[in-house]
Structures are given as structure tokens and as C-alpha cells.
Amino acid sequence: MLTGLTLTEARAGLEARKFSARELAQAHLDAIGRLNKQLNAYITVLPEQDVLAAADAADARYTKGEARLMDGLPVGVKDLFCTKGVKTTAASKMLANFVPPYESSVTARLLDAGSVFLGKTNLDEFAMGSANITSAFGSVLNPWKRQGDDAALVPGGSSGGSAAAVAAGLALAATGTDTGGSIRQPAAFCGIVGLKPTYGRCSRWGTIAFASSLDQAGPMTRSVADAGLMLEAMAGFDEKDSTSSNRPVPEFSKAVGKSVKGLRVGIPAEYRAPGMPEEIAKMWEQGIAWLREAGCEVVDVSLPHTKYGLATYYIIAPAECSSNLARYDGIRFGERKDAASLDGIYERTRAEGFGPEVRNRILMGTYVLSAGYYDAYYLKAQKVRTLIKRDFVQAFEQVDVLLTPTAPSAAFAHGENMDDPVQMYLNDIFTVPASMAGVPALSVPVGLDSKGLPLGLQIIGRHFDEETVLSVGGALEAAAGFAHKPTLHAEAGV
């Protein structure tokens, strides 16, 4: 079925004219029509005539021999990227009716590459969350189920809608954003590939901000080769983003399949967290064995400041969030709620526009930035962040990549861990350090746990060395041979 293809398979099929871009787009629209009410993966589905018109334009380019990198490939767009003329909500009541008059740089690049946008995928409100339960438009359902258990599982977050859509066949691929693990953790929970590029590799312009020194766009796909292909289309220098890196964009897709023989793979001692489930530890050991068999040299390394990563993140990210979200006051930006006074407008607009998790993080961030606490918390956190980054730089003097688990567990059920914010924040314990350091990291699905749920391993690389990360990811993917499908997917019962 067309909805079960990878990007690279679909592109090959389109080039060989085995099917048309219109047929490919229609198959995905039909799948969305069947499954989106259950999964809630999309907040906004684009009008059918617009989707099919874009597909027809791609078909015309294939006929003329002028096909582009992503021509005719149907993708979902996380509803954090501004899309011209299409509602962009950040999954918040505050932006429930916001229609941008401009296109984000990342989505503009994807459109230029010929991508066919299907719609805007659901997420945690303003990308704040690890379970996709904070969206003002309802929680997202993970298409996977535990064996013998019908409990609804979370897809991870914040890019849970994108992960669920790709896993269930409602898009060939989707964009995500990663601040502390929001691409990699949902990719692991949903059994797909998720790549957080180096900070600055993809432009942040036109992407609604959470924490500006951490936010980074990246691809969520069904294969490592697809992640390389899509990153090639998304990446590039952007003069509108002062944090964008002016570096050439390699042909990332060609990195997959290269020999990894002789590469040094570091195993950080600090990631062997106390209380780590045995299944996660065994899968990690299996991943180490697979890479050793592929010719890699395995080296033990230390990242001594890793233990401070999560605490540091939950000072810096809320601080930046409180600053970025200050603009939503109902006067300059945001859905205004009228009141008798100006202060009343501010209070009512923000109280009704923001959900509880966003309000929590704004309060936490405002506190650590306030007089008397700035030096004690925020300034100290910035110093520790420098030490975390230095740990990675020193480790990469000894090794080419690091291999770790992606998440400390498989997907959990709606209602589990929900009343314990610390437990929820611990979901990002393995992903946050790479975000703090700004290095690229890739999650690859490698197997199932005893309950039939997917588990992922994470490959972390040097700054701007996504090619090596993708090469090692491809070797891990080939060894694992992960081909499992979730309970709910577009091909089931068709």
C-alpha cells in the first residue's frame, strides 16, 4: 500500500511512474479520513483540492523530467511552523485563530523541494510536554497498543502528532522540533526515526519559539535514509535567523549505507541510570553488539556533568519560555479577552489563553530570572551548560559517536505519571544533554519490549557531523531489521 512506503521508496516509485503523486496524496488523505478522529494526530487537515493541486504540479514536473528532491511526497507539518494562509495554533487557545501571512523558512524549503503538505500535526501546547497531553485541541493517541491491553498510550512529546501520523501511515514523514528531546522521544515511543540536527543547521525563522537557544527543527521519518533526505531539504543558511549556521548542506542521504568499520563508538557511563529497566539495558547492550559486529570499536567514555543536565534544562528552558511568551498579552499578540482595565485584559487573556503546563513553565522561568534569584539559578545554570557542552567536546576527541538509550521506558498509558511533574520531566533524561550541548542526535527503533512496544537507541555526534550519525544509524537500523507496525495504521483492515 502507498501509505506504507518510505520517502525513498515513494520517490523511486514516482520516478518510475508506478503511481502518481495524486494517487499517493489521495491515499494519505483517505487514511487521515479513516484514522485521524481516533488518533487526533492532525489539528488542521488541508483542503483536498489544495493537496491534490500540489500533487498534480509535482506530477507535471516528473513528466517533464524536472523533479525536485521531495517532489510529490506527502508530509505533515508540526503546528509550530508558520504556514502562509494556513492556521498555525501551537496547540494553544492563545493562537487558536492565528493565520500567518508568511511561511517559515523550513516549510518554505520543503515546499521549494516539491513536498506536498497534508496538514498541521498536533503537539504539546507551545511544544511544552513529553506526552502530547497538554494540547488545547485534545491529546494524541499512540497508534501502538500493549499486547493484551487496550489502554490508550501516549505518543511522546512534544512532536507526538507528527510521530503518530508517520507511524500510522497518515504521512510519509513529518517535521518536528526538538528542544529537550521532542523529536527523539516521540520517535522512540512510536517506532520511527527522529533526527535532531546540530543547533543552527535548520533555520528557526517562522517557527513559534519555546526556548530560543535550544529549539531546532528536524525530520521524523520511517527510515534513516529518509531522515537524511528530508534534512537535506530542510537545512541551509538563513539570513533571517541570526543563529543559522552558514555552512554548505551535504547530501545527507548518501551517508546511509557507508561502511562504519573502524569508527569509534562511545558508551557514556553516566547514562547507565539507577533504576533503568532491564529491557532498556539489554536493548542497549544489543545495540553495542550490533555495532561491534559492523566493525566499530566500542570505547567507554565519561560525561561527568550529565547528571546536572535535566536540572539545568528546567532552569534555562522555562526562563527563555517566560521571555518568549511575554508577547502574548492580547494587545500585541494572542487571542484577546476583554476586561474592565488594561491589567484585567492581560490577566484574563493569559489565564484563559495558556494551559496549566505553559503557565507552570512561565512562572518557573520568571522566578529564576527575577532579582535575587538570577545569579543563584539562571547564571549558574548557564555555567553548568558550558561544562555539559565541554564534556561532549572532550568525549568526541576520543570517539566518533555516542550510543545511548533514547528514553527510560517504552510508551506509557494516558493517566500514568500525569500527577507527578518530576516523573514526566524524567522522560527527557537521555535526550536533554545533547540538546544542551547543541550536538546532533538520532533515535532509531531497534526492537520491542515484552509488551510489544517499540524501543529506540540514540546516536549522538559531533557538531555538524550529521553524516557520521546517519551512517551509524543506518548500520544500527540494518542490524535491527525493525519492521513492526502499530495496531492502528492505514493498512490495517484495508
In a domain, 164, yes or no: yes
Where residue 464 falls (left for φ over 0; alpha for ψ -120 to 50; beta otherwise) is left
Instruction: Give the gyration radius of the chain's Cα atoms.
Output: 21
Domain encompassing residue 175: 2-260
Q: Does residue 330 lie in a domain region?
A: no
Answer yes or no: is 400 within a domain: no
Would residue 182 show up in a list of annotated catalytic residues for this protein? yes
The answer to whether residue 435 is catalytic is no
Instruction: Give the model's pLDDT for residue 193.
Output: 98
* 389 catalytic residue (yes or no): no
Beta bridge partners of 76: 119, 174
Active-site residue identified among 158, 203, 435, 443 = 158
Q: Per-residue pLDDT for 425 more than 80? A: no
Domain contains 346: no
Average pLDDT over residues 249-274: 95
pLDDT digits (tens, 9 = 90+) for 349-365: 999 999 999 999 999 99
For residue 347, being part of any structural domain is answered with no
What is this structure's pTM? 0.97
Catalytic, out of 182, 203, 253, 471: 182
Percent of the chain residues topping a pLDDT of 70: 99
Whether 393 is covered by a domain: the verdict is no
pLDDT digits 0-9 by tens, 128-143: 999 999 999 999 999 9
In the structure, what pLDDT confidence band is assigned to residue 491 with cuts at 50, 70 and 90?
confident
Could you give the CA distance from residue 346 to residue 300 in angstroms, rounded to a whole number? 53
279-323 confidence digits (pLDDT tens): 999 999 999 999 999 999 999 999 999 999 999 999 999 999 999
Number of domains in the chain: 1
Q: Which of 78, 93, 120, 145 is catalytic?
A: 78
Q: What is the pLDDT of residues 162-189, one digit of tens each?
A: 999 999 999 999 999 999 999 999 999 9
The CATH number linked to 101 is 3.90.1300.10
Contacts of 350 (CB under 8 A, 6+ apart): 328, 329, 330, 334, 359
CA distance 300 to 266: 6
Decide if 191 is inside a domain.
yes
